Structures are given as C-alpha cells and as structure tokens.
Amino acid sequence: MSEALVFLNGQFVPASQAHIAIFDAGIVLGATVTDMTRTFRQEPYRLSEHIARLYRSLKYTRMDIGLSPTELEEISRKLVAHNASLVHPEDELGLVHFVTAGEFPAYAGSAGRAARLRPTVCAHTFPMPFEFWSEKMARGAHVVTPAIRHVPPQCYDPKMKYRSRMHWYLADKEAQLVDPDAVSLLLDLQGNVTETGGANFLIAERGMVISPTTVNTLPGVSRGVVMSLCAQLGIPFIEKDIQVHSVMNADEAFLASTPFCLCPVTRINGVPVGEGRPGPLFRRLMDAWSAEVGLAIDQQVFEGARRRTSGAGASSGAGSAHAAAATPVLGATVPAGASASIAVGRSR
C-alpha cells in the first residue's frame, strides 16, 4: 500500500479513511491524553518511555484501552516501519498516540445512534517538519511571558500529558502580538516560570543547569535525557522555582522537547539571555545527545529544512499521503497557514 496507515480503534486503516466522530469526547470536552515519539534513522527513539508515560496518563484519567504497553509498542513499531517506507530516506517521523474518553453519549444520542463508550485509540505518524525549527536552532528562540497563566496543579496534575489547550492557544496569540515568531512561556499564579506549550524550559547559571520544579510542569522525556547527559558530563542539574528575573540574568537558556531535542533560547520578553546567542553549555549537551543517537541533531534539522523547503524531500506520493492523514484524525500536523511553532503539540 502506497498510503500512510493509521492505527484507529484496533485496526490499521489508510490515512485518508481515518476519522473520528464529531461527538467524540476529545472534541466535545477536550478529554484526550496523548504522547509523541520521534524517530532517529527512522527507528523510534525511547518509545517505551513515551508509552509508559501515556499509560500513566491513562491510569490517572481512568481510561482502559484494552491493550498492554507491550502490545501498543509492537503496533507502533509496525506503523512506523510501514509509514517510513513512504517518505524520503533522510526524513524522520513523529509518532503520535492519543486516546479520548470515547463518544459523548448525549450528542451521539441526538445523532440517532448509540455512543461508542470505549476510549477512542489512535496512533499516526507525520514527517518531521524540520523547517519549523531550523532558524530557532541556529539563532535561538524568543520566549515571551503573556498574561495568561498556567493551569494550576490544583485543577489537574501536569504529569498527565493532555490535549486540553485553550490556555496555550490564548497564550500564543498574546505572545505573537509581541513577536510573530515568539514562543509563549507561561508563569504560574505565583509568578514562577513553568514551561512552553511543547517544551520544558531550562536555564544555565554558573555552570549549572536549572529546571523549574515539576509541581507545575510536565516531566518531559527530553528533560530526562538532559538530566542524564548532565550526570555524564559532570554538570550539576537542580530543580527550583525561577522567575523572569532569573531568566534575564541567566548565562544561557534552552528548550527540551521530543521533535528537536534541545533548542537555544536567546531572548526573553525582548531582552537578550546571556550574550544573546547559543552558548557553550548548549553546545556540550547537544554534542553529547548527538553522540548518543549517532548523528548531529542540529545538522539534521538544518539539512532537513533545506531539503524539504527545496521541494526535493518527498518521495513519490509520500508527503501527500501523510498530509492527507493529518486532518481526519485529531491534531496530526500544523495546518497550512498556521504560525510555525517551536514544537508539535505538547511533544516533550
């Protein structure tokens, strides 16, 4: 089959046929948990860690999908192997899992049929859009702290990875009034720095890497990799509350997220961080991460962006097959005309 496949409710289906109901709870209530894995050399990277986190989110939301983590991992590897055969050999895939609470009974009843009360389970892939991150990787991202605050942990635990994202949508709209290419960085109700919509936020100060606490941030898989690399390199890694003042006076700052691994941050609210360019600690960590995966991650981003934007990146039909997959299933790729985000979804 020359079309990308989607795993949806127990079956592999062609992407063009992958649909969910308009009265699914993921649409009606935003009741969706999710996770995202990326490939390196078209093999899933840390897939078991992402699936384990998905199952922790499922347990927290009381959703039973009727599959074991091992079964879902096997399904995911089959999906990636098939869909990777349809893209350029130097492309990488993002693998998205999402689970909704199933169909909303009241709305389904009004449509004249019984609701599907079991969770909706989906896994799909998309070619990694390196062009979204290449300029930020080279020059650094600009983070802006909007008036919108992060959802407090008293509402729901941020260790759950979810798709209810109206506060991020509003935050991005505000941040983009300052800079159309800005990344919104939310504060909590006490004014502490938390995270961006798709990445953990970290600063470097006096040779240390400092992370906001996980009281109100997602413990990202990529953040965990940074912790491990810091241990290998002898770089202290600490968690504590930090504020905008801390970031403005940091030596460096960066974002950790699944799609691009690590991205420098060189401005906050228009003020340079450190010297206003990617710093030496970022370079050490990126080089160590590249050594772990066996390729230069930032160079892959730069070269992939050039290839994809030159029109030479898609093998016959592959790009269109994946693009067709994006719209029917819930939240696959960034729509045409949307602002180029620093990350795809909440993708750490």
Strands 43-44, 120-127: pairing kind: unpaired
pTM: 0.89
* 268 pLDDT above the threshold of 50: yes
Phi/psi of residue 143, nearest 5 degrees: -100, 145
Give the tens place of pLDDT for each residue, 303-319: 999 999 986 554 433 44
Portion of the chain with pLDDT greater than 90, in percent: 83
Average pLDDT over residues 289-307: 97
Give the tens place of pLDDT for each residue, 193-233: 999 999 999 999 999 999 999 999 999 999 999 999 999 99
Q: How far apart are CA 250 and CA 243, in angstroms?
A: 11
Confidence of residue 108 (pLDDT cuts 50, 70, 90): low
Average pLDDT over residues 77-84: 98
Give the tens place of pLDDT for each residue, 10-26: 999 999 999 999 999 99
Portion of the chain with pLDDT greater than 70, in percent: 87
Positions of E strands within the chain: 5-8, 11-14, 32-40, 43-44, 93-100, 120-127, 141-144, 183-187, 193-196, 200-205, 208-211, 237-239, 252-257, 261-268, 271-272
Least confident of 29-43, 66-80, 147-161, 320-334: 320-334
Residue at token pair 């991992």: 73
Least confident of 109-113, 133-137, 144-148, 298-302: 109-113
Confidence of residue 258 (pLDDT cuts 50, 70, 90): very high
Average pLDDT over residues 86-100: 97
Q: How far apart are CA 187 and CA 196, in angstroms?
A: 10
pLDDT attached to residue 117: 77
pLDDT attached to residue 325: 41
Confidence of residue 109 (pLDDT cuts 50, 70, 90): low
Q: How far apart are CA 6 and CA 134, in angstroms?
A: 28
**pLDDT, the chain, mean:** 90
93 beta partners = 127
Q: Greater confidence, 329 or 204?
A: 204
Average pLDDT over residues 163-190: 96
CB-CB contact of 120 with 26 (8 Å): yes
Tokens representing 8? 């949806």
Phi/psi of residue 120, nearest 5 degrees: -85, 125
pLDDT attached to residue 185: 98
Burial class of residue 97 in the structure, from the number of CB atoms within 10 Å of its CB (0-12 exposed, 13-18 middle, 19+ buried): buried
Q: Greater confidence, 256 or 340?
A: 256
